[in-house]
Each structure stands twice: as structure tokens, then as C-alpha cells.
Chain A
Amino acid sequence: MPVIEVQRQQLPILDSPNQGARFYNPDLPSSEPFVPGHRTCAGCGPAIQYRMTSKASGDNTILVGPTGCMYVANSSYLCTPYNVPWAHTQIGSAGSFTAGVAAAYEAMIRKGKWKGTFPNIICEAGDGSASDIGLASISGALYRNHDCLIICYDNEQYANTGIQASSRTPYGGMTTFSPPGPKVPEAKTLYPKDLARMMAAGHPHCYVATASVGYPIDLMNKVRKGLNHRGAAYLMVYTPCQKGFVYETPRSIDLGRLVVECGLYPIWEWNPEKRAYDYSFRPQSMRPVSDYLKLQGRFGHLHAEHIANLQKFANEQWRMMGVELPEALSQAADVKNQVNMAAAAEAEVVAQTL
């Protein structure tokens, strides 16, 4: 039987001055694999991410959607927003279903049963799927190195089920499964699972990166690098959720930058060739975590000590990236320099939203 060599796509990397924080780039493709008309909330971070990701990937793409917001709120029978093939799969099947699609195309192209260039196969898993129930399936797909990109759109909670804590929910984050109360004043007591690093450490042959909707060109370039990488790639993207985070709707992109500027969401790449982290991404400024926390109702209950704990956590992230810590941030980790969120004048607007 004749064996046909599999042809693969190479997508160009976009020019990205200003850390890719610009919204407009003349080189962006005009295709829109993810079109309007879905039922996501106004300002939905995951949906913004979805549009950028699929735009970067183009039309020769297959999308896999494990259960999550990007399944439930996007897809309605007879009017789905996907201009490319898309399939729902179970919440625990993110990596495995995607692996099946990739394996099918490898075999079908090789055996002459499907003619064409190997498609971009992208899985859009929420953080519940990616960090909890589907973790093993994703690890399996990365380990076996199927030619696909698995994205964790990280809104730090199970959102479509009504805001429940996931392994990615930050310390102090209020959800319906981690409410604050007199016995547990900080709400979520655990720190988030370091998911992306776990994927890089455990699957060093894969391209692994973190990104944020606050830096759209950077995000799109990482999507393309992941797709261009021959084999499996993993991308974890910060995608704020207005409903769960409780913030003013137009501020999704602001939060996407602030979370990075506050050191709570380190942006990096794992280079599988060099087997090394690349920490060269630097936000334009560094800020105390309170600048980020005070915009969100989910942190409105935090006391001074909890904010100090989060600052300590952020400072550790900066150190891990080899960034020299400004004195102000070290001091912000001291509880004496913090006030309860309820007493912070800047948080008032959000308190009223709640």
C-alpha cells in the first residue's frame, strides 16, 4: 500500500512590539473561524481568547470543545459560532478526544484516505477540564506527542456551572464552593495548581507557554508557535470571567494586563529544543497585587493578611522569573502595610456591584 508523506502547515509569526499588547496588526488574517452570535456574557475573556486563537490558526483547523463555558455558552443546536469543524467532547476527554482526531488524520493522510495538508487541531479546555477532571487525558496527549495544540482557557473556576472552585482558583478567591465566612474569612484557602509548569516539567518535548488576553498579539503568536511545533503543544491563557470575578464589564483586557503586572500570572515560554524556560516577557510596569484585587468582587472580603499572603505569592513568582523585586513590593507583603478590602476606598465601586 502506498504511504503518503504528511504535509504540515507553517504559520508566520506576527510582528509584536510592545509585548504584543497592541490590538491592531495589519498582518492579521481576515478569516473569522469563530463568528458572533453565540451566547457568551458581555466581556467574556474566554470568548475573546477563542476569537484570537482561531483567527491565528485560520481555516484549516479543527476545534475540540470539552464541556465548559466555551461549549455551553457558544454552541447552540442549529446556530453554532464555529466556521471550522468543531466537536463537543466530555469534560474529562479534552486530551483524549483531541488525540483521536490527530491520530485519525495521521493515519488517513498516510493511507491516502484523506487528501490535504494536516489540519491545525486545537482543543479549548476550561481550567476545570484542564487542571482537574481532564488532567490525565491531556497529559496522555502531550506525552504521546500528537500533533495538536491544547489550550487551557483559564478563568480560574468552573464558570458555566455557576462559579465553583477549581484547582486554578486563586487563594482568596470567592466561589460558590469556596465562600467566605466567619470560620474561613479568606474563602479559598488553597493556592492554585501550577498547571502550565507541571505540563512543561512532565512533557519537556512539548512547546508550553502561558499567555493572557491582555496581550493579544503575544497570544496569537504563541498559538502559532504551538501549532508550528511538530508534536504536542500546551498553552494556558488568562481569560477573566465577568460573572465569576465580578468586575465592570469593559475591563476584561485591563485585568488581562494587571494580572501580569501584579506578578500573579507569569508569562513565559518553555522551549523544547533548549529544554529551558524563556522569561524574557516583561510587562511595562510592576504593581502591588491590590491594584488587581480591588477591581474584583470575588476578592472584596479579603483582610489585610490575605492580601499580604497574595503579595508574598506574587513576589515568589517574580523571583522565579529572575526579576529583581522593587522595595515597594517587598513591603507590600507585610501585613502592616495592607488594609482590609472593605476599608479600601478604591474597592468601593466593586463593593457596590456586589
Chain B
Amino acid sequence: MATTAISTKKKTVRMNGCVASAQAAKYADVDVITAYPIRPYTATMMALAQMVANGELDAEYIVADSEHSQLSIAHGASSSGARVFTGSSGVGVQFAYELYSPISGSRMPVQMMIADRTLDPPGDFGSEHTDALSTRDMGWLMGWACDAQEAFDNHLMAYRIGEDPRVLLPQMVCQDGFFVSHITTDVELPDPGQVKEFLPPYKHPYPLDPRHPVSHGPQIMPEQGPPLQLERARAMEGSMTVIEQVHDEFAQIFGRKYDPWVEEFMTDGAEVVFFMQGGHAVTARFAIQHLRDEGVKVGLVRLRTIRPYPTDRVNKVLSKFKVVGVIETNMGLGSVSSGGSLYAEACAALYESPQHPLVISFMAGMGGEAIVLKEFYWMTKKMMEAQKRGKIEKRTHWVGFEE
């Protein structure tokens, strides 16, 4: 089957987040794709299946028997030297849980696309970030896109970062189910030459190659454990420099400049800010613009990369404000704030700040509900009340359940 993987020049095409992810995998010329259906990420794999069937992409397309198998196939293929693409949503992400540590521990830069879905029970197709966030400490690079274009760009950057010999870590490239995965917007697809320049072919230093035998993952004695864990921790920490370099280079080649860690929107002169991840930020920008027109000093800080966590940057940025309202979109049952898990990390990042802004956790966007404009206004009001009072009313507000 003679194929030309990429025959397009730079062009703008209307597509949803799922298709943008599939396009990114195609541009990255992945070798092995492994799929298992679960909504809403499935649309990515449907698009890739069609590309393979059309001969637009030369890759092994494997329909796995479960998400556990999906990730194991990805692990095996990446260990052999192939560039791998996989993905999942919701409970599917968790069915594969066993594999997250082995993949990052063996330093295989597997890439996984996540279109978030609320965990069971009961069955709920809506987006909630708990699925991917529950794996956040497993050694995977992780971050959320807020629209299809950013999702496309994040995939290419994640391959470049994860496959860098200084990093060699797997990546979870996340987007909200439906709000990003199924909303159609314009996406600029690059010229294949640009991708070629940006993303060199995958070359793992120690693949499973009969000509250079190596053993992957043998048993160790307890005293051999700490150095290996330290290596993995250092790789995660060391990735921060690479992440910044790659974002700079991406901007030079593709002309889109992202701050790798946080997006600041209308934070100049802001006294209260939202701190959040993902697609609801698009609504937040709109709400903030409206509130600014009315003279309210509100802004947005959107976290783009949560692993590695940009502690110093979050500290520096959030320290500028009087009140930080964390929008969770995830479940942290019984956690520090008894709300979501973002609060605790934001507070920890702020601990060494002399300014100590007030921090409130907002449980919003749960179960896949849209966070509507009036809810942003309501949350802003809560933050302003706290600022006036100099004290928070309570740590966690369930938005929509209170006056």
C-alpha cells in the first residue's frame, strides 16, 4: 500500500477537538494506533480509522480488547521503537490504571489523548476532569487544551517534549469532552514541512531490538528502588526546561505563541481571578470581558500544564491578586477543601507567598454541565464579598446549590 502520509499544505479547516487530535496524530506520522471505544474520545479513533482505510496514514491500527490492553499494546509498541498514539475517556482511563506507572517508569513516551468524561456512577457522558486527574501523579506529562486548535498544537508539542532524550516520559494530552471534543471551530493545519522541521522521528535510546539486546523492567532489590524513582522524578522536573524550549520553537515555526504554564486573561489591574483548566475558560473569558465593561476587577489564570506543576509560576502569578477562585471541574472527595483537587495544589503553591491571597474552591462544571455566564457572575460576587470581608465564607461552594 503506497501512501503519502501528508499531502496537504498549510490550510484552515473546520473541525472538532476529536478530529483535531486525529489530525495531529496523522501529522506526527504515528506508527501504531490502538483504540477501544468509549464516548466521547471515540471520534478521534473513528477519524484515524478512516485515514488508515483511505491510505492517508500508514500505521498499524489495533482495536484492543480493553483499555488495559490498549495501554499495554501502546507500551509494547513504544518499547520496540514505534511512535504510538492512544486515548480514552472516563472509566476507560481508569480501566487502564495499572499501566500508567509501568509506562512512565520504563520511560516510554506513549501519547494518550483524553476527552474527559465523568466517572461512574451513574453513567454520564458529560465532561469532568477527574478521569485524567486521578492519574496525575503517575509520571505522565499532563495538560488541558481549551479549544481544538490548542489541542492540535498540544499533541505535536507533547510528542516533541516526551520523546526528548532528556525527558522520555509519556504524555496525556487532555481536552474537555464535548466542550472541546465535539465543538467545531477553525483549526489551522500546518504545512507538513513545518512539522518535519519541528518533530524529528522517534528514536528511543534502548528499544527492544534483537541487534542490541536489553532487558526492560527486571526485578530489583528494595535498595535499587529509590535511585530509579529519583531518576523518574528528575525527568519530570527536568522536563520544565524542555517544555519552555519546545514552546518557543513551536512559536517560531508555527507562529502560535503559548505560555507553557498559564494563560493570563485580563489580569492587568485585576483583584480577583479565576484559576482553572480546560474548555470552560472560553466562557470565562466572555464573562470577564462583560464584567470588566461594568468595572469589575476580575481576570482569568488558566493552567495549561498541570504535570509538571509549575509551582513557582503559579505562586508568582496568583500572588498578585486578593482572591483566587479555583474552578475545579473534578472530584476530590474528602480532600483538603472537601471539594476538588486543584484547590490543594494551588494553596500549596501559594504557601511560600508573602501576600497569601484568599483561595476559594468552586465546584462547577460537574457532571458535564456547562458553566453558564450567570454562574461566573455569581462566583465573581462571592470572590468580591470575600475580598471586602478579608475572609472567605467557606472553602468550597457547590455552584448552583447555593443562594
Residues of A within 8 A of B (CB): 1-3, 59-62, 64, 71-72, 75-77, 80, 82-90, 92-93, 95-101, 103-108, 110-111, 113-114, 116, 119, 136-137, 139-140, 143-144
> What are 23 sample pairs from A and B whose C-beta atoms fall under 8 A apart?
A61-B210, A62-B80, A62-B208, A77-B219, A77-B221, A80-B215, A82-B213, A85-B207, A86-B214, A89-B76, A99-B69, A100-B76, A103-B32, A103-B73, A103-B82, A104-B32, A104-B78, A107-B59, A108-B80, A136-B65, A137-B65, A139-B65, A144-B63
Interface 1/0s, chain B 78-105, versus A by CB < 8 A?
1111101000000000000011001000
User: A83–B213 contact, CB under 8 A?
Assistant: yes
Given contacts A72-B219, A77-B224, A99-B73, contact A104 B81 (CB under 8 A): yes
Other A-B pairs, 12, CB within 8 Å; known A59-B210, A86-B213, A136-B69? A77-B218, A77-B224, A80-B215, A80-B218, A88-B217, A92-B98, A96-B69, A100-B74, A103-B76, A104-B78, A104-B82, A108-B80
User: A113–B2 contact, CB under 8 A?
Assistant: no
In the complex formed, the residue of A with least CB distance to B58 is: A111
Quick one: which of A60, A80, A82, A99 has the most chain B CB within 10 A? A99
User: B210–A85 contact, CB under 8 A?
Assistant: yes
A98→B209 CA distance, assembly (Å): 14
User: B32–A107 contact, CB under 8 A?
Assistant: yes
Residues in A with CB closer than 8 Å to B74 are 100
User: A85–B214 contact, CB under 8 A?
Assistant: yes
Given contacts A104-B31, A136-B69, contact A1 B62 (CB under 8 A): no
A77→B84 CA distance, assembly (Å): 27
Residues in A with CB closer than 8 Å to B216 are 85-88
A88→B2 CA distance, assembly (Å): 35
Q: Interface size on B (CB < 8 Å)?
A: 52
Closest CB-CB distance, B84 to chain A, in whole Å?
8
Residues in B with CB closer than 8 Å to A100 are 32, 34, 62, 72-80, 84
Closest CB-CB distance, B215 to chain A, in whole Å?
4
Closest CB-CB distance, A119 to chain B, in whole Å?
5
Q: For chain B, residues 9 to 38, give those with C-beta under 8 angstroms from any C-beta of chain A.
A: 31-32, 34
Tell me whether B4 is interfacial, beta carbon within 8 Å: yes
Residues in A with CB closer than 8 Å to B212 are 85
A93→B69 CA distance, assembly (Å): 6
User: B219–A85 contact, CB under 8 A?
Assistant: no
User: A101–B79 contact, CB under 8 A?
Assistant: yes
User: B3–A96 contact, CB under 8 A?
Assistant: no
In the complex formed, the residue of A with least CB distance to B1 is: A3
User: B98–A87 contact, CB under 8 A?
Assistant: no
Residues in B with CB closer than 8 Å to A76 are 218-221
Given contacts A90-B99, A101-B208, contact A3 B3 (CB under 8 A): yes
Given contacts A85-B209, A106-B60, A139-B65, contact A114 B81 (CB under 8 A): yes
Given contacts A104-B31, A106-B60, contact A89 B65 (CB under 8 A): no
User: A140–B69 contact, CB under 8 A?
Assistant: yes
Residues in B with CB closer than 8 Å to A62 are 80, 208, 210
A76→B221 CA distance, assembly (Å): 8
Closest CB-CB distance, B159 to chain A, in whole Å?
15
In the complex formed, the residue of A with least CB distance to B221 is: A77
Which of A1, A82, A96, A143 touches B72 (beta carbons < 8 Å)?
A: A96
User: A107–B210 contact, CB under 8 A?
Assistant: no
A58→B60 CA distance, assembly (Å): 26
Tell me whether B68 is interfacial, beta carbon within 8 Å: yes
Residues in A with CB closer than 8 Å to B336 are none
User: A107–B60 contact, CB under 8 A?
Assistant: yes
Residues in B with CB closer than 8 Å to A98 are 76
Quick one: which of A60, A92, A101, A140 has the most chain B CB within 10 A? A101
A64→B4 CA distance, assembly (Å): 33
